[in-house]
Amino acid sequence: MPDKLTVGIVGYGTMGCGIAQVAATAGCEVLVYEVNRDVLTKSNQNLTKILSRLVEKEKIDQAKADSIKNSIKEVNELLDLGPCDLVIEAIIEDPEVKKNVFSKLEDYVNSDCIIASNTSSLSIASLASSCHNAARFIGIHFFNPAPLMHLVEIIPAIQTSNEIIDKAKAIIDSWGKTTVLAKDAPGFIVNRIARPFYGEALRIYEEGIADFATVDWAMKEIGGFRMGPFELMDFIGNDINYIVTETVFKAFYYDPRYQPSFTQKRFYEAGFLGRKSGQGYYSYQEGADSPSPKADRALGKHIFDRILVRLINEAADALHFGVATKEDIDIAMTKGVNYPKGLLVWADEIGIENCVQRMDTLFNHYHETQYRCSPVLRAMMKTGLTFYQTEKRHA
């Protein structure tokens, strides 16, 4: 790879613009291809505002802001991305649309150009199959907003060469990001493990145990999370969160652990998408009252314990199936979705036996498979080991 990379971005919406900003800030030349002129204009306006705010806050000086802006250039055709060393696609989450782009793009770029997708949940192997040289294809998943979020998931397809894995990781590391290596499994690390954060919260609401505000209060006040599940879904967008949940559910052959919620579906169908629509689980209209939670600490602890153990169980299963190392799982959840602790660290703290008992209690109550305890947790309980003491047994 040359000292100064040329990076192509296909799709210049919120994610594409954010990735372009990250690459340009790191000193890359960035070529942007976007077919929708309105999206292009809006993203350029937003980028100008963001850079102006960074200058005002003295995060960067005006010379750096101008350099970032001038390093991002628009191109009119895919073939104009020919000089790129790396191209990252950030368009609609439609596999056929993406494959069509990749099959064309491959004819225009150099043979040693890395072709990557920023998909959050689609199969990397399937997308890679659209290229004749699938060995140079890889998933590079940024989190929104890309300039602020430290985590990037690197997801090789089974076709991806080891050389491309190393190169892609080195490039993103050089941009100041924290990279984790994820198996090409549905949802990768974060979007797989985080599903119970939303799903179990919705289940608690649907059972009439607590309302939105009380669940959010419990997770923040008792759990130490920055945002509660319903606040976060409103922030992300109920359309995006629901579609990711549905995608992961289908990809896992309809495993009940990832089953979408009727409540979220109805909010999505109603257009209650959250902050961006002015109405979600909460109202964001001017003058709207914020609902008060039922600040009962016993109830709050019950809510927190239930959601936390589901998250821990999912993290343990991800480790069991080789989705990532225990270190990368914990890094992903703290850096990618700002969890207060790594889930496997958390499991060690509250006790493996405690986790197993909580899962068994839920399963015995519901007899539903989403409450089955991970075999990793059950095996560790029997041996008395913890996630971060496992190596000591062999010392």
pLDDT, one tens digit per residue, over 267-320 is: 999 999 999 999 999 999 988 888 999 999 999 999 999 999 999 999 999 999
Q: What are the extents of the domains in the chain? A: 6-181, 189-395
153 given a catalytic annotation: yes
Q: Cβ neighbours of residue 267 under 8 Å, at least 6 residues apart? A: 238, 273, 280, 281
Helices (H), 222-293: 229-236, 238-251, 262-269
For the segment 217-246, the average pLDDT, to the nearest whole number, is 95
Which residue in 43, 141, 200, 241 is the catalytic one?
Answer: 141
List pLDDT tens digits, range 112-131. 999 999 998 899 999 999 99
Report the run of H or E that residue 63 belongs to, with start and end. helix 62-71
What is the distance in angstroms between the CA of the first residue and the CA of the last residue of the chain? 40
Query: Which listed residue (29, 89, 153, 200) is catalytic?
Result: 153
Q: What topology is assigned to 6-181 in CATH?
A: Rossmann fold (3.40.50)
- The 3-state DSSP class for residue 209 equals coil
Q: What is the dihedral of CA 90, 162, 26, 29, to 10 degrees?
A: -70
Supply the mean pLDDT for the chain: 95
Strands in 178-181's sheet, in edge-to-edge order, are: 72-75, 29-33, 6-10, 86-89, 114-117, 137-142, 151-156, 178-181
Q: Is 141 a catalytic residue?
A: yes
Residue among 123, 191, 238, 313 flagged as catalytic: 191
User: Average of pLDDT values for 222-248?
Assistant: 94
Architecture of domain 189-395: Orthogonal Bundle (1.10)
Say if 6-181 and 189-395 have the same CATH topology. Answer: no
pTM: 0.93
Record the tokens describing residue 173, joined without a space. 């590391």
When pLDDT is averaged across residues 28-38 and rounded to a whole number, the result is: 96
Mean pLDDT throughout 51-56? 96
Mean pLDDT score, 139-154: 96
Rounded to whole angstroms, the maximal C-alpha distance in the chain is: 63
Q: 320 an active-site residue?
A: no
